[in-house]
Amino acid sequence: MNNIKLFEDKKIRSHYDEEHEKWFFSVVDVVGVLTQSVDGRKYWNKLKQRLKKEGNETVTNCHQLKLKAEDGKQRLTDVADAEQLLRLIQSIPSPKAEPFKLWLAKVGYERIQDMSDPSLSVDRARGFWKSAGRSEKWIQQRMMGQETRNKLTDYWQENGVEKPNEFALLTNIIHQEWSGLSVQKHKAIKGLKTQNLRDHMSEAELIFTALAELSTRQIAEVEEAKGLDDNAKAGKKGGGIAKKARLELEHTTGKSVVSGKNFLPPKKKNNIKKV
């Protein structure tokens, strides 16, 4: 939830820098929203060239961070903080400019609230899922799974796993082991593209994911796993425990745990009649 912010239902990829205590936002995403353009990248590239010629410091001060692209991979992306975005907005004629300024202020205010009272961010997440039609039982499973996930990634960070691609690799090892599918293949079965897989899991999938990650962390702690290789071995063992439980349940019920069901809105029907 922290890596994606919504402005009028449009996704803005973001990153909170703990060291500097500020948000950074994907410039391409922001430009796309302001210009209401399908391809914000092209508009940004042209605007960037013009601003550079004018000697505008907004462009020269922008730097890049790895953010998740549409293909699911982490790619270097131009980002800007709130102050830089406010300057950038002045260069883009848009009816969305004023609402976006208010949105920026709201994001900053919410972060201050979260730091003083972390339960508020939990309440916001719960409200988001509830408004999207999730049941209370599903929300509870999702939040339990997120807590389990956070404890695992904390362990990784504290024990030699540092690069974003290493987190993705370990996650995939665990997922492949318990479900029999890679994360990407599981997303494909559900018809997902840029969406978060966990936000579209069934209750059973959430529970088995949590079991696999809980088992992985406890095994890693007992074995004192350090670095990528050790934690990968722990991941296979932890995922294997959840796999055994999944196979046993599937054998007993005759139903597959891994499902193609999702929470995507139904596709709009094409009402154009052929002549």
Comparing 66-70, 122-126, 208-212, 260-264, the range with the smallest average pLDDT is 122-126
Burial 3-35 (b: 16+ CB within 10 A, else e): ebbebeeebbbbbeeeeeeebbbbbbbbbbbbb
- Token duo for residue 125: 């997440």
Dihedral angle at the C-alpha atoms of 132, 138, 143, 148, nearest 10 degrees?
-140
**Helix axes of 119-131 and 136-158: crossing angle, nearest 10 degrees:** 130
18-38 confidence digits (pLDDT tens): 555 667 888 888 888 777 766
Closest C-alpha among 19, 16, 15, 18 to residue 66? 15
28 and 45 Cβ atoms separated by less than 8 Å:
no
48-102 confidence digits (pLDDT tens): 888 777 776 666 667 788 877 776 677 788 888 877 877 777 777 777 667 776 6
Q: Are strands 10-17 and 22-26 parallel, antiparallel or unpaired?
A: antiparallel
- Token duo for residue 164: 């974003």
- Per-residue pLDDT, averaged over 243-248, amounts to 97
pLDDT score of 122: 56
> What kind and span of H or E run contains 82?
helix 82-89
Query: How does residue 180 score in pLDDT terms, banded at 50, 70 and 90?
Result: very high
